[in-house]
């Protein structure tokens, strides 16, 4: 009798042996002044939604909160990777959010059967799913930049100590956070899970694609895990006095290199990106900003020693950026610190290359931009200022 009852409960979707669980996230992506994407991964297929509430002191259950869904051509979709775009937000405002996933236990024809729901306990004492939208009128801005971590956890944890809870507004991962993307798990174990533990539920990270993130089976699912406001790995945003331009330099060697197994087409890609960049620098938002900071993983530096990828990126992007009054370009890739003044490169602006064992900690206020280069022990190794 008990067995029969259990089978009946399973059929009704009332009980399943293993309830749906969130295994990665939630983490914030593509946060702009009016929108944000909430990301998470469940251990089994589920239909998901996000509820949003302003951080105004009311109980989350005070009123019905608006729900947002993941849809495709008008239809809510279910799966294990949940990417939910929240729209209609106000700039520079704090919001709370909850995530819910209803397990899909069966699909037969057009019928879908559901099981348990995994949801955020918004009444819990440690509920802290709160983030701020970007604010172009923000007076003080703090951000950090890490790169070339190559999934090394000790290094990542040490350098993330530059993140200051309640003070750091944004985090940039400037490429090569992993060495290859053969599986979904590598992205999470490599750096996303650590980011979630430290800050990514409350503060967004913006991923700059490095040449190593272009490699492996899951490299083509890049935007599934790291959506952007443009639908491309290159994008812009304005926060405080800074207009940020994030560029994707693609791979480092010529497209014909045997290492790419005939899959590389980065010359054409960089040319397409340059056409987009031209429009970006002509925009009023870019022109009117006090500062313009470019992030690109591979620095086009090194004269005759520069490899094809960064060289071609320089040829595509410098003619455009050199007319755009760029404050500084932040790069990585070489695993070695260098500060490249315009007389040593083809750029009309300085290029600050961060090493693989330091983080950049930037502070923007009415005095200008101060960038400290901080090592794994927390010591300041170099400081650069921009007016
Ligand atoms: Fe690299």
CA of 191 to the centre of ligand 1 (A): 16
Supply the DSSP string of 141-160, one letter for each residue: EEEEEE---TT-HHHHHHHG
pLDDT band at 9 (very low <50, low <70, confident <90, very high): very low
CA of 178 to the centre of ligand 1 (A): 10
pLDDT band at 59 (very low <50, low <70, confident <90, very high): very high
> In sequence order, what are the beta bridge partners of 71?
76
Average pLDDT of the chain, as a whole number: 95
CA of 332 to the centre of ligand 1 (A): 7
What does the pLDDT look like over 287-341, one tens digit per residue? 999 999 999 999 999 999 999 999 999 999 999 999 999 999 999 999 999 999 9
* CB-CB contact of 167 with 133 (8 Å): no
CA of 55 to the centre of ligand 1 (A): 39
CA of 50 to the centre of ligand 1 (A): 35
CA of 297 to the centre of ligand 1 (A): 7
CA of 251 to the centre of ligand 1 (A): 8
CA of 161 to the centre of ligand 1 (A): 23
CA of 139 to the centre of ligand 1 (A): 33
pLDDT of residue 18: 60
CA of 217 to the centre of ligand 1 (A): 18
Is the bond preceding 26 in cis, omega lying within 30 degrees of 0? yes
CA of residue 312 relative to chain centroid, distance: 25
What does the pLDDT look like over 124-167, one tens digit per residue? 999 999 999 999 999 999 999 999 999 999 999 999 999 999 99
Q: Token pair for residue 318?
A: 């410098």
CA of 61 to the centre of ligand 1 (A): 47
* Mean pLDDT calculated for residue range 109-115: 96
CA of 179 to the centre of ligand 1 (A): 9
What does the pLDDT look like over 253-291, one tens digit per residue? 999 999 999 999 999 999 999 999 999 999 999 999 999
CA of 145 to the centre of ligand 1 (A): 15
CA of 370 to the centre of ligand 1 (A): 25
Provide the 3-class DSSP secondary structure of residue 51.
strand
CA of 333 to the centre of ligand 1 (A): 4
CA of 3 to the centre of ligand 1 (A): 57
Q: Which helix (H) or strand (E) holds 172?
A: strand 170-173
Task: Give the chain's length.
Answer: 387
Burial class (CB in 10 A: 0-12, 13-18, 19+), 134: buried
């Amino acid at each position: 009798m008990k067995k029969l009852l259990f089978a009946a409960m399973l059929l009704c979707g009332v009980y399943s042996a293993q309830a749906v669980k969130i295994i990665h996230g939630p983490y914030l992506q593509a946060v702009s002044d009016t929108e944000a994407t909430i990301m998470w991964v469940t251990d089994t297929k589920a239909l998901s939604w996000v509820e949003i509430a302003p951080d105004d002191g009311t109980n989350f259950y005070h009123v019905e909160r608006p729900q947002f869904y993941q849809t495709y051509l008008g239809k809510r979709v279910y799966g294990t990777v949940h990417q939910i775009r929240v729209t209609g937000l106000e700039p520079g405002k704090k919001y709370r959010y909850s995530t819910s996933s209803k397990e899909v236990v069966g699909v037969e024809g057009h019928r879908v059967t559901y099981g348990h729901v995994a949801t955020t306990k918004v009444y819990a004492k440690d509920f802290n799913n709160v983030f701020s939208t970007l604010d172009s009128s923000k007076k003080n801005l703090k951000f950090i930049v890490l790169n070339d971590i190559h999934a090394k956890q000790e290094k990542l944890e040490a350098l993330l100590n530059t993140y200051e809870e309640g003070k750091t507004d944004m985090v940039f991962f400037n490429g090569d956070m992993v060495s290859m993307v053969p599986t979904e798990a590598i992205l999470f174990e490599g750096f996303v899970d650590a980011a979630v533990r430290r800050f990514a539920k409350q503060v967004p990270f913006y991923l700059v694609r490095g040449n190593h993130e272009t490699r492996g089976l899951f490299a083509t699912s890049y935007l599934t895990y790291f959506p952007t406001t443009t639908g491309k790995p290159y994008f812009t945003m304005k926060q405080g006095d800074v207009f940020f331009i994030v560029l994707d330099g693609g791979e480092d060697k010529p497209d014909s290199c045997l290492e790419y197994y005939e899959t590389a087409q980065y010359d054409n890609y960089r040319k397409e990106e340059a056409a987009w960049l031209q429009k970006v620098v002509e925009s009023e938002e870019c022109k009117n900003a006090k500062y313009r900071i470019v992030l690109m993983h591979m620095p086009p530096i090194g004269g005759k020693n520069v490899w094809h990828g960064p060289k071609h990126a320089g040829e595509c992007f410098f003619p455009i950026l050199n007319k755009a009054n760029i404050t500084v370009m932040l790069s990585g890739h070489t695993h070695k610190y260098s500060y490249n003044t315009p007389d040593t490169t083809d750029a009309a602006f300085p290029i600050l290359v961060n090493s693989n064992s330091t983080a950049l900690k930037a502070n923007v206020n009415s005095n200008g931009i101060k960038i400290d280069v901080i090592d794994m022990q927390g010591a300041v190794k170099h400081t650069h200022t921009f007016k």
